[in-house]
Amino acid sequence: MTKRGRSWRDRRRKSKQKEEGVRHVTASLMSRDDSIQLMRWLRRNGFRDSHLVLTDFPDTGRGVMSTRNLKEGDCIVSLPENLLITTTTVVNSHLGQYIKTWKPRLTPKQVLSLYLIAEKSRGKDSFWYPYIQTLPTSYTTPSYFSTAEVDALPALVREATLRHRKVLQNSYKSLQTSLHNLEPLFPDWKTVFTLKSYRWAWATVYTRSVYKRGPGWEFLDPSDPDVYALAPFLDMLNHSPLVQTDTDFNVSSKCYEVKTEGACRKYRQVFINYDPYDNGRLLMEYGFVMPRNPHSVVTFTADDVVACLAVKQNGLSSKNLLQKKMELLSQENLTVNLSCSGEGLSWRLQTALQVLCMDHDSICNWRTVLRQTPRDPTLWSTARLVAQRLISKRLEQHSSRTQVAEKILDPGNSLISLFILMLLREDLYILEHSLKELNSHTAGALEK
């Protein structure tokens, strides 16, 4: 065996660094020109930023890095109104006269989607060209999932996915009847406004718009609020549930501003907090999931709990008693969103479990469980056994779903598959952890 000295290791290290450097430069060169054009265009049009640059991050993909230390209260982005795409932008554009008379009335999301497709098709002639060039060309939101990916999802997320896809299809269908009216502007409207381009535009609006209240145009469908604005550069900020930012339109400066509510170190990624969503919702609305998401939960319904009541107990609880309990729970809105998380069972689930385990005599005092403490130890020990059954049953179903998904999905080739597997594994962890907690309490109670 040849012994390799320090110089070999140094050479190896240097050549590895070079390889990585080449990979890094190749990856960033692809978007570097577009990023430079975007920044120039933004500054030409009144954008002010404080030392922020677009960068690829290994864990989140493209995002924003600060080149100086940021302190609480710093205004890091200030985007003038003329750089926002809102329904007002569209109404004042060449599409405006068509939007005003469109039948059936358009929703604000449809208006923005049509505009994005129209502007994209105009290429360099569009004012928005430098912005559109930096938009992703495809997304990881539900309308991009393959059939195998949809099938692999947990039941509730799968239902939400199918609903999401239906909304998109119906939205496109309702547009189709009037698209030919755009012929004077777009002679090739049939190949421009396709379902595929609409899916892209719709996902762009869904995943990248910020909240800005519109004027309430009377010619738009009021069933969807006019609160969306596409905000170049600001939409490059990724989400973290751990940060707080103040993101709003400032009516006096007429700029959309982002202010930090905490410090951020130099050369670190700057995040904003989109919404306190669990991973299922993040996947539905934004097309990604977060490892160790503090908002992640596994949810149950009251019917799931009822199915786990002991046969004996079920027998004892006459049909009428069970009906009464379900009425009480629904009065308190406690029949859905009963959940467990990395921290164990939620208060809602614990309460529903206790109500469903009450006997004939104690049900008249059912409100005592709403107060949470002190807990009736006998009632809670029955409820805990039902909880163990509930979680074990779900864990069994979920483990086999995850095993099947691991065989079918290819996370190396599809980011969507990777996110779905992350979602399944996170739920598995929550269920295992919750069951462990329940078992340890049972063991503790037996030892006493």
Ligand X SMILES: C[S@@+](CC[C@H](N)C(=O)[O-])C[C@H]1O[C@@H](n2cnc3c(N)ncnc32)[C@H](O)[C@@H]1O
Region binding ligand X by CB under 6 A among candidate stretches 105-113, 282-290, 301-309, 377-385 = 282-290
If the CB atoms of residues 150 and 418 are measured against ligand X, the closer one turns out to be: 418
In the list 76, 157, 205, 290, the residue contacting ligand X (rule: CB under 6 A) is: 290
Interacting residues with ligand X between 130 and 189 (CB under 6 A) = 136
62 makes contact with ligand X (CB under 6 A): yes
In the list 60, 88, 346, 381, the residue contacting ligand X (rule: CB under 6 A) is: 60
Region binding ligand X by CB under 6 A among candidate stretches 57-65, 144-152, 306-314, 345-353 = 57-65
Distance between CA atoms of residues 292 and 429, nearest Å: 10
34 makes contact with ligand X (CB under 6 A): no
If the CB atoms of residues 140 and 350 are measured against ligand X, the closer one turns out to be: 140
Q: How far is the CB of 236 from ligand X (least distance, A)?
A: 5
208 makes contact with ligand X (CB under 6 A): yes
Distance between CA atoms of residues 182 and 333, nearest Å: 48
Q: How far is the CB of 250 from ligand X (least distance, A)?
A: 20
Residue 220 CA, chain-centre distance (Å), reads 27
Q: How far is the CB of 136 from ligand X (least distance, A)?
A: 6
Phi, psi of 103 (to 5 degrees): -125, 130
Rg (C-alpha) for the chain, rounded Å, is 27
280 makes contact with ligand X (CB under 6 A): no
273 makes contact with ligand X (CB under 6 A): no
Residue labelled with tokens 């989109």 = 274
63 makes contact with ligand X (CB under 6 A): yes
Q: Which helix (H) or strand (E) holds 357?
A: helix 347-357
In the list 277, 286, 300, 380, the residue contacting ligand X (rule: CB under 6 A) is: 286
Residue 17 CA, chain-centre distance (Å), reads 36
Number of residues in contact with ligand X under rule CB under 6 A? 16
288 makes contact with ligand X (CB under 6 A): yes
In the list 194, 207, 346, 442, the residue contacting ligand X (rule: CB under 6 A) is: 207
Q: How far is the CB of 412 from ligand X (least distance, A)?
A: 17
Residues 275, 77 contacting (CB under 8 angstroms): no
User: Is the sign of the CA dihedral 68, 71, 74, 77 positive or negative?
Assistant: positive
217 makes contact with ligand X (CB under 6 A): no
Alpha-carbon separation of residue 76 from 56, 60, 233, 333 (angstroms): 19, 20, 11, 41
Long-range contacts of the stretch 436-442 (C-beta < 8 A, 24+): 437/344, 438/344, 438/345, 438/384, 438/387, 438/388, 438/391, 439/388, 441/384, 442/384, 442/385, 442/388
Distance between CA atoms of residues 227 and 212, nearest Å: 5
238 makes contact with ligand X (CB under 6 A): yes
In the list 287, 352, 383, 423, the residue contacting ligand X (rule: CB under 6 A) is: 287
- DSSP, collapsed to helix, strand or coil, labels residue 259 as strand
If the CB atoms of residues 133 and 434 are measured against ligand X, the closer one turns out to be: 133
Q: How far is the CB of 138 from ligand X (least distance, A)?
A: 11
Q: How far is the CB of 239 from ligand X (least distance, A)?
A: 4
Distance between CA atoms of residues 442 and 103, nearest Å: 63
235 makes contact with ligand X (CB under 6 A): yes
Residues 207, 113 contacting (CB under 8 angstroms): no
Distance between CA atoms of residues 178 and 311, nearest Å: 59
Footprint on this chain of ligand X (rule: CB under 6 A) = 60-63, 136, 207-208, 235-236, 238-240, 286-288, 290
